């Protein structure tokens, strides 16, 4: 599976959009981009995934560049409860191949 690179930490003001970048320059054509997050003292939580088209659900939007070498997770109106570590994962297999890197620690501030 392709490796991902994420900034170790980011801050965001409450109510503003949080844009979390991820680089996956070695992604192959059949690999999907998944985002999970881990809120303190909880297990990881699925957010969204995509292949090449932009995706949106009730939690977030995922923007994947045309060359698929990078993506951005967007939380449109961040709240304090969105403070968590966000993991970008590329995967072409079942969940056994989820490789959690270091992730981005997002701090949403009042």
Partner 1 sequence: EAGVTQFPSHSVIEKGQTVTLRCDPISGHDNLYWYRRVMGKEIKFLLHFVKESKQDESGMPNNRFLAERTGGTYSTLKVQPAELEDSGVYFCASSKLTGPPDEKLFFGSGTQLSVL
Where along the sequence are the contacts to partner 1 (CB under 8 A)?
32, 36, 38, 41-46, 49, 51, 91-102
Residue 44 CB, nearest distance to partner 1 (Å)? Answer: 5
Residue 27 CB, nearest distance to partner 1 (Å)? Answer: 13
Cα–Cα distance between 32 and 24 in angstroms, integer?
A: 11
Residue 38: both structure tokens together? 């881990």
- Name the residue nearer to partner 1 (CB basis): 58 or 110: 58
Percentage helix, strand, coil for the chain under 3-state DSSP, each rounded to 5: 5, 45, 50
Residue 54: both structure tokens together? 């932009």
- Name the residue nearer to partner 1 (CB basis): 19 or 92: 92
Residue 109 CB, nearest distance to partner 1 (Å)? Answer: 25
How far from the centroid of its chain's Cα atoms is residue 76's Cα? Answer: 13
- Name the residue nearer to partner 1 (CB basis): 79 or 99: 99
């Amino acid at each position: 599976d392709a490796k991902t690179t994420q900034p170790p930490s980011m801050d965001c003001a409450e109510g503003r959009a949080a844009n979390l970048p991820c680089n996956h320059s070695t992604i192959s054509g059949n690999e999907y981009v998944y985002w999970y997050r881990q809120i303190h003292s909880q297990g990881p939580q699925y957010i969204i995934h995509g292949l090449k088209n932009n995706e949106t659900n009730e939690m977030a939007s995922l923007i994947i560049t045309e060359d698929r070498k990078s993506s951005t997770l967007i939380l449109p109106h961040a709240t304090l409860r969105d403070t968590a570590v966000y993991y970008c994962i590329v995967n072409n297999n079942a969940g056994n191949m989820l490789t959690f890197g270091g992730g981005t620690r997002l701090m949403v501030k009042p």
